[in-house]
Amino acid sequence: MAAAALNDVMRLRTIRPLQHKKDRGPRFRGRLAFSQLYSNKLPIYGLGYGNRSFITCYLDNSNKSGGGNVLGVNEIKEKCRKWLWKGDYSINYFVSSSSSSSSSNAKSNPPLLLVHGFGASIPHWRRNISTLAQDYTVYAIDLLGFGASDKPQGFSYTMEAWAQLILDFLNEVVQKPTVLIGNSVGSLACVIAASESSQNLVRGLVLLNCAGGMNNKAIVDDWRIKLLLPLLWLFDFLLKQRGIATAVFERAKQRDNLRNILLSVYGNKESVDDELVEIINGPANGEGALDAFVSIITGPPGPNPVQLMPRINLPFLVLWGDQDPFTPIDGPVGKYFSSLPSQSPNVSLFMLEGVGHCPHDDRPDLVHEKLLPWLAQLTA
């Protein structure tokens, strides 16, 4: 529709004023009237003369990554709820299910819990929630230290703590066997939770580019990490110096730097928009964000998924972007997961071509293409 409208406009002939002493040519404007209506659109062509009317053409990117309905960040924030974990920590979460009569399956199907990766939060699932909520009750959670959840001073962040948070959330809030869907360290937290669950709280697992640990010190079998390990330990030492940590964190969370980082880990560059940058940047400006950053980067890497997977007898779906620089498919963790389908009949693996570290946001169409049939088979 947007492309057709653009073609129609471009066929229009510009009408010049009848009386105009000096033709100064077309003027291009960067500012838009009613900008709030077009905050997620790119102005690609604008033409006007003198003080006459101005025509702006917009490129609609909302479906370019194939995500279908995309929830607005503000809409997600307005509908979020709070849950008190261990009587001390406020945890931000979101729940959604379709209100249409065709969604009767949502009551009988297992609920889904979406768990974000490092630096992200609930809105990182904005391209997935509406699609999944058509047939499932969808929960999403901000892990402690991220998003709008508490970032307590002096807290020692560990993978085990996040896994326990997930299990307690399932037990106290969801109260039904749930399919866990995680990205990066969120995937690893889901694996740990499933390996420790003794109450049948977990119905299945979906791993999107699962991390090998809370930080890179976990991947000791990768020659690339072995070469960098002395630098990683030095970096840990420097981050424990408050002044240095503040300078590093302030620089890392600058929007231009965040955009460049995201562009390096996304295969589909069009998915790296201003909204995504703000999803990462906004929570990083909150109180306690620096302490959480330092604790996570310098803390223990936690259990390795390679050691945990044999303890789990649940249906698994593994989706892996083949352009991931953080957990490459040719690294130890990637190689292990790619070998699992031949060893375990309960594991399904799909490589996503041209996709980076965050497949659900990078190319949600490819994720949904594999995820929805797997979920349907799981509940059949």
Handedness of CA 365, 370, 373, 375 (dihedral sign): negative
CB burial of 188-218 (b: ≥16 within 10 Å; e: otherwise) equals bbbbbbbbbbeeebbbbbbbbbbbbbbbbbb
pLDDT (average), residues 138-166: 97
DSSP states of 2-63: HHHHHHHHHTSPPPPPSS-SS-------S--TTGGGGTTEEEEEEEE-TTS-EEEEEEE-TT
C-alpha span between 364 and 46 (Å, rounded): 31
pLDDT at 315: 96
CA torsion, ordered 137, 327, 368, 174, to nearest 10 deg: -10
pLDDT at 39: 40
Residue 67: per-residue pLDDT: 53
What DSSP string describes 52-65?
A: S-EEEEEEE-TTTT
Phi, psi of 321 (to 5 degrees): -75, 125
Amino acid 60: pLDDT: 42
Amino acid making up residue 95:
V
Compute the distance between CA of residue 157 and CA of residue 241 in angstroms, rounded to an integer: 18
* Residue whose tokens read 């060893």: 343
pLDDT in tens, 299-331: 888 999 999 999 999 999 999 999 999 999 998
Q: Which residues contact 32 (CB under 8 A, 6 or more apart)?
A: 38, 43, 56
Q: State mean pLDDT over 162-166.
A: 98
Q: What is the pLDDT of residue 55?
A: 41
Whether 255 contacts 281, CB under 8 Å:
yes
What pLDDT shows up at residue 51? 44
The model's pLDDT over 122-148, given as tens digits with 9 standing for 90+, comes to 999 999 999 999 999 999 999 999 999
Which region among 215-219, 224-228, 252-256 has the lowest average model confidence (pLDDT)?
224-228
With 70 as the cut, is the pLDDT of residue 11 above it? no
pLDDT band at 48 (very low <50, low <70, confident <90, very high): very low
Q: What is the rounded CA–CA span in Å between residue 280 and residue 233?
A: 26
- Position 312 scores a pLDDT of 94
Mean pLDDT, to the nearest integer, of 368-373? 98
Q: What is the bridge-based pairing of β-strands 81-85 and 89-96?
A: antiparallel
Contact 184, 357 (CB under 8 A): yes
- Claim: this prediction has a pTM higher than 0.75: yes
Q: Is the separation of the CB atoms in 206 and 179 below 8 Å?
A: yes
Q: What pLDDT sits at residue 232?
A: 61
Amino acid of residue 12: L
| Residue 176 in this model has a pLDDT that exceeds 80 | yes
Q: Is the dihedral of CA 368, 371, 374, 379 positive or negative?
A: negative
Both tokens assigned to 329: 């498919």
Beta strands in the chain (DSSP E): 41-48, 54-60, 81-85, 89-96, 112-115, 138-141, 178-183, 202-208, 316-321, 347-352
pLDDT at 15 over 90: no
Give pLDDT, residue 101: 39
Q: How confident is the model at residue 273 (pLDDT cuts 50, 70, 90)?
A: very high
Q: What is the pLDDT of residues 108-119, one digit of tens each?
A: 899 999 999 999
The pLDDT of 188-216, averaged and rounded, is 93
Range 198-202 contact pairs with CB under 8 angstroms and sequence separation of 24 or more: 199/171, 201/167, 201/170, 201/171, 201/177, 202/170, 202/177, 202/178, 202/314
- For the chain, the average pLDDT equals 82
